[in-house]
Amino acid sequence: MSKPPYKRKKTTSASSSDDTSPDNQDLDENPATATITVSAVEISELTEEEQRDRLHLERRVERAFFEAGKALTELRDRRLYRSTHKTFEDYCRDRFGHSRRQSYLLMDAAVVFDNLMEKCDPMDHILPTNKRQVRPMTKLEPHQQHEVWVKAVEQSGSKVPPARIVKNVVQQIMERTQVPNTYQLGEVCQILAKDNPELRGKGGCWGIVNHVGEFSCTVKIWDGEYTVGLQHLKSFDYLLAECEQMQVICDRINRVYSSGLEESVQKFLESLGKLNRAYLTGLEEKVLSLLESETTHKEAWR
Residue 3 has pLDDT above 90, yes or no: no
Residue 27 has pLDDT above 70, yes or no: no
Higher pLDDT, 181 or 4: 181
pLDDT score recorded for residue 263: 83
Q: Is the pTM of this model over 0.85?
A: no
CB-based burial label for 264 (10 Å; 0-12, 13-18, 19+): exposed
Q: Mean pLDDT across the chain, nearest whole number?
A: 81
Give residue-wise pLDDT tens across range 63-110.
Answer: 788 888 889 999 998 989 999 998 888 999 999 998 888 888 888 888
Residue 20's pLDDT band, with cuts at 50, 70 and 90, is: very low
Residue 125's pLDDT band, with cuts at 50, 70 and 90, is: low
**Of 199, 182, 186, the residue nearest 251 (C-alpha):** 186
Residue 301 has pLDDT above 90, yes or no: no
- Cα(245)–Cα(225) distance, rounded to whole angstroms? 19
The continuous run of DSSP H or E covering 226 comes out as strand 224-229
Residue 9's pLDDT band, with cuts at 50, 70 and 90, is: very low
Cα torsion at 298, 299, 300, 302 (round to 10°)? 100
**Of 124, 4, 142, 141, the residue nearest 59 (C-alpha):** 124
